[in-house]
């Protein structure tokens, strides 16, 4: 049973990666239609640019896969990244709202889930702001940003 769940998560991840890669193919004019890998990753993890470029179905699959992986491998961390009480669509909408702010685009997707979960859990605005400021600073100094300089 566990092997089947892991395989399903792998297939979802592959589908998301294929969708992202197809959007990064050069256009007919020879100009990339989507940002290069250094723009779509932060510390090797997918960031908000990928989230915004992906379809609703791909984003829902990402959330479902992450939730299943945490439930199997680290169930104690599930509430910190997958807020109880939200439907999948509500969760996706909250992440969409997070990435509607351009200053959040370099934050890895998995970290955005932490901020959404903190909000749902009723964390104070100062705690959320401190966590988010640290995430933004780390993202700005990621190796992918240094490679771009």
Does 3 score more than 70 pLDDT? no
**Structural domain span for residue 123:** 2-143
Residue 149 lies in a domain: no
Cβ atoms 51, 63 nearer than 8 A: no
Residue 113 lies in a domain: yes
**For helices 88-99 and 109-120, what crossing angle results, to 10°?**
110
Residue 148 lies in a domain: no
Does 124 score more than 60 pLDDT? yes
pLDDT, tens digit, 9 for 90 and up, residues 32-42: 344 457 889 99
Q: Which two tokens stand for residue 19?
A: 């969708």
Task: Single out the residue of 22, 24, 40 nearest to residue 32, CA to CA.
Answer: 24
Q: Cα–Cα distance between 89 and 94 in angstroms, integer?
A: 9
Does 144 score more than 50 pLDDT? yes
Residue 136 lies in a domain: yes
What was the pLDDT predicted at 26?
A: 41
What was the pLDDT predicted at 148?
A: 59
Instruction: Name the strand (E) or helix (H) holding 45.
Output: strand 45-46
Total structural domains within the chain: 1
What was the pLDDT predicted at 19?
A: 62
What was the pLDDT predicted at 74?
A: 95
């Amino acid at each position: 049973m566990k092997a089947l769940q892991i395989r399903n998560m792998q297939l979802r991840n592959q589908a998301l990666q294929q969708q992202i890669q197809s959007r990064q193919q050069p256009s007919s004019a020879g100009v990339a239609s989507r940002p290069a890998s250094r723009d779509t990753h932060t510390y090797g993890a997918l960031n908000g640019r990928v989230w915004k470029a992906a379809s609703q179905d791909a984003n829902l699959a990402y959330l479902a896969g992450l939730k299943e992986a945490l439930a199997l491998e680290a169930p104690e961390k599930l509430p910190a990244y997958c807020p109880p009480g939200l439907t999948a669509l509500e969760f996706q909408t909250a992440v969409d709202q997070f990435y509607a702010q351009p200053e959040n685009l370099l934050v890895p997707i998995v970290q955005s889930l932490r901020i959404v979960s903190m909000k749902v859990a009723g964390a104070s605005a100062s705690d959320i702001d401190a966590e988010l400021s640290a995430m933004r600073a780390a993202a700005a100094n990621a190796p992918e940003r240094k490679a771009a300089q």
